[in-house]
Amino acid sequence: MLTTIWTAAAVLSACTAGRRHLCRAGRRETAHWGGRVRLTALWNEGAAFGLPVGRGALAALSAGALAAVLRCRRRAPAAAGLVLGGGLSNLWERLRYGRVYDYLRFPRVPGPLGRYVYNLADLALVLGAAGLLLGRRRRR
């Protein structure tokens, strides 16, 4: 349980610090690592990939998903912490601001995923979900 809590706290802190820093820096787009990563600031009022989901419904779904992750934490505590930290970060922004601050774009990713803008919390969610799935496969 301690690994899950520490990981979630680290992700939540990193997401908050990143958003604060980028909000202060302004909305300019910058390229990093040879153009593989672009910082493109925008506020996302929809769900993942801009899907139009109501604020209340999205918050309720997020809270339910985070509760489900807590039940899975024993098989992959660090992965559960990544999901919890990323999910709590996005949920907090959505409840506080009504939207989520996205800023990472990966233009060289093949297919349509290179067009979307993400945030650090989204990356933690994806990595954590993959870790939970891999942890489940190893137990079988």
Catalytic residue IDs: 102, 122
Name the residue among 80, 91, 93, 94 with its Cα closest to residue 124. 80
Q: Are 63 and 88 in contact (CB under 8 A)?
A: no
Distance of CA 13 to the CA centre of its chain: 12
Q: Are 8 and 73 in contact (CB under 8 A)?
A: no
Cα-Cα-Cα-Cα torsion 78, 70, 123, 12, nearest 10 degrees, comes to -80
Tell me the backbone φ, ψ of residue 42, rounded to 5 degrees: -160, 155
And the tokens for 67?
């509760």
Half-sphere exposure of 84 (CA within 13 A, CB side): 23
